[in-house]
Amino acid sequence: MTTIADILKLPRYSDLKLLTNANLVDTHKTIESVEISETPDIEFYIPANVLLLTTAMTYANDQDGLIPLIDSLIRAKTIGLGIKTGRFLGKIKPEVIEYAEKVNFPLFEIPNTYSLGSLMHQLLNKIWGTRYEEISFALDIQKRFFNLLIQNATNQIVINKLSQIVKTPIILLNPFKEIMDYSKHFNLSSNPAQHYVNEIVQKIEQIPKERDSFIIKNPKGHEIQVSLVPIKVHTYFPHYLVIVNPEQIPYPISSFAIDQAAMVLSFVLFKNEKVSESQQSIETEYFKELIDYHSSSNAPVRAFELNVKYGYVLSNYYQVVHVFDEAALEDSLLNLNQEERLVLASQWLQKHVSEYFTNGLVIFFSVTKETLILIQQEVEDLDEKLLDIRNQLHETLDIQLIFSVANPYTDWKRINQSYTEAKLVFDERRSKHQTQPIIHYKDKGMVQLFHHLEKNDVRFFCENILKDFAYPKEPVLIELRKTLSVYLGAQCEIASAASALFVHRNTVKYRILRCEEILGHSVNSPSHSLNLRLALALSEESY
């Protein structure tokens, strides 16, 4: 048993428009057949309980003639009338619609995109309950979404089309569970899409990963079902379609429509990412050119200026921060999972860097998957902001970022120096497997001269100068070594050292005396002081 109400509820026919009041549709009148006719005296040829489809071409210049047609169809016990507009009738006159409502006769509009022959066969298959209808619908859905792909449709258009077909709200999320687009259902402030996303993010931590459907609460506090459909742009970190009330979509309609929409969205999103990567590669090449230009001693005569098109600004502060994933630190050859994590981390930084650093730029190296943040305005709480970024990525994608921080410079021509320092810190932390979240560059000065010496020679020098303080294990010796280092760094001023160590002046005096007893000489003399500073710095390298 199929009624007009049943047909109009089907997502497949979501673009059939009921012109008369929905209350006029008699849910008890069963459609026994579907006919196509352009004959004005159809009442003499049509059987009862038929749904009639027509282009109404006979009434193209006289729509008032549709009124007596409606009367004749009522006498013939016709279920309703569907008129295809666009070819012969541009728009059905309000007077005709008002009359149909007056006499309680269902009238609906068929878009010009339909073939009446195909529509009749589809409806007959629905009425007669054949399997062909499901196959036909699948092909129809595939065609609709394929056309959207050919037309270069946006995410928004695809989502609205899917929502129209399945008649339920839909949200598109990126891998970070952030909203990219949503259907028109969420345009009202009383029904914000973000509420559903917040509920999903809270719930998703509590449910098994193999489940893709669960219960959340809508803004009014009522429990509703939502389903997450992965969109595979990345292998390990998909985008998601959020389908609200999926249980209300009849099978197999939901499966056909959603699968086709997911396929189209995967192509659209993939294409958009490739376009973004292309633009990003241009920006990266410009950064490389900037670095090479100012690093070369044989720089061309032509002037090299900052390109504001890529986000560079004239400032008195430039600082480079190298960004990488802790999990990929020890692997020189990255696997696909690690590559995707680094790509997504860079994408997240591109989107959110301005929230942390004014005029901040993100540069991504596609081959090594390394990311740089170029800070172009002084930041007082740099480490706090970097840790906040680390926490955000850890919460959303379980990515543990590590930062290698260079010194800031006042001239943009020295960005190359800051970049070199950041790379040195990263290369050193990689060779020593240092996973601290943040490591700052320290100018090693004279220590650099000893880098090519044998380690045993360096160790002998440190032990000879520092004695028990060279590589201490005992807490007392470690504390004395720290005091000695701070004291020498404070130019042997007890007050400054005490302030830096947060201890009393007398404590510093006592500890320095103990150091001198162990070393066997005064630490204040210039010759001893230089050796002590050098030995402390060299032993720190492997301490």
Model pLDDT for residues 65-75, shown as the tens digit of each residue: 999 999 999 99
The residue among 183, 188, 153, 184 whose CA lies nearest residue 171 is: 183
Q: Has residue 365 got a pLDDT over 90?
A: yes
Which structure tokens are listed for 319?
Answer: 């600082």
What's the pLDDT at 400? 92
Mean pLDDT, residues 212-241: 87
Could you tell me the pLDDT band of residue 535, with boundaries at 50, 70 and 90?
confident
Mean pLDDT, residues 248-253: 64
What's the pLDDT at 206? 66
Q: Which backbone phi and psi does 84 adopt, to 5 degrees?
A: -80, 120
Left (φ > 0), alpha (ψ -120 to 50) or beta: where does 167 sit? left
Instruction: Identify the bridge partners of residue 319 per DSSP, sorted by sequence position.
Output: 375
What's the pLDDT at 80? 93
H/E element holding 270?
helix 253-295
Percent share of the chain, pLDDT over 90 = 38
Could you tell me the pLDDT band of residue 108, with boundaries at 50, 70 and 90?
very high
DSSP state letter for 243? E
Helix (H, G, I), strand (E, B) or coil at 108: strand
The residue among 79, 81, 77 whose CA lies nearest residue 31 is: 79
Mean pLDDT, residues 123-151: 75
Q: Has residue 255 got a pLDDT over 60?
A: yes
Q: What is the residue-averaged pLDDT of the chain?
A: 86
Mean pLDDT, residues 210-221: 78
What's the pLDDT at 153? 84
Left (φ > 0), alpha (ψ -120 to 50) or beta: where does 77 sit? left
Q: Which backbone phi and psi does 384 adopt, to 5 degrees?
A: -60, -40
What's the pLDDT at 301? 47
What's the pLDDT at 101? 92
Mean pLDDT, residues 422-442: 88
Q: Decide: 93 and 63 in contact? Cβ < 8 Å.
A: yes
Starting at the edge strand found earlier in the chain, the sheet holding 438-440 runs 361-365, 370-375, 319-325, 401-405, 438-440
Which structure tokens are listed for 99?
Answer: 């009359």
List of long-range contacts for 207-212, beta carbons under 8 Å, 24+ apart: none
| Secondary structure tally for the chain: helices H, strands E | 16, 15
